[in-house]
Amino acid sequence: MKVHFDEKADAIYFRLDDSRIVESQEVQPGIVLDFNEKNQVVGIEILQVKSRVPLANLKQMQFEIV
């Protein structure tokens, strides 16, 4: 998985795998899912991140594997 935060665009993108994106769908305002040919979610884009997450939390991301 790859995570990219574009501060200028105020967007964060989670890429789950490298399969080709064939369709994108905005499922909620500012939340876009990318789908591959098997209709699996392979990417998640969150727009207007700074209004959703405190900036301090964006500078240090924590992941928990359970």
**Does 59 score more than 80 pLDDT?**
no
12 lies in a domain? yes
Q: 34 and 42 in contact (C-beta within 8 Å)?
A: yes
Q: Is residue 66 in some structural domain?
A: no
Average pLDDT over residues 38-56: 90
Residue 33 within any structural domain of the chain: yes
Number of domains in the chain: 1
Q: Which tens digit of pLDDT belongs to each residue from 7-20? A: 899 999 999 999 99
- Is the pLDDT at 63 greater than 80? The verdict is no
> Which amino acid, 13?
Y
64 in any annotated domain: no
- What average pLDDT does range 35-46 have in this prediction? 97
Kindly state whether residue 65 falls inside one of the protein's structural domains: no
20-34 mean pLDDT? 97
Asked if 40 contacts 50 with a C-beta cutoff of 8 angstroms, the reply is no
* Residue 38 lies inside a defined structural domain of this protein: yes
Whole domain around residue 34: which residue ranges?
2-59
Whether 32 is in a domain gets the answer yes
- Structural domain contains residue 7: yes
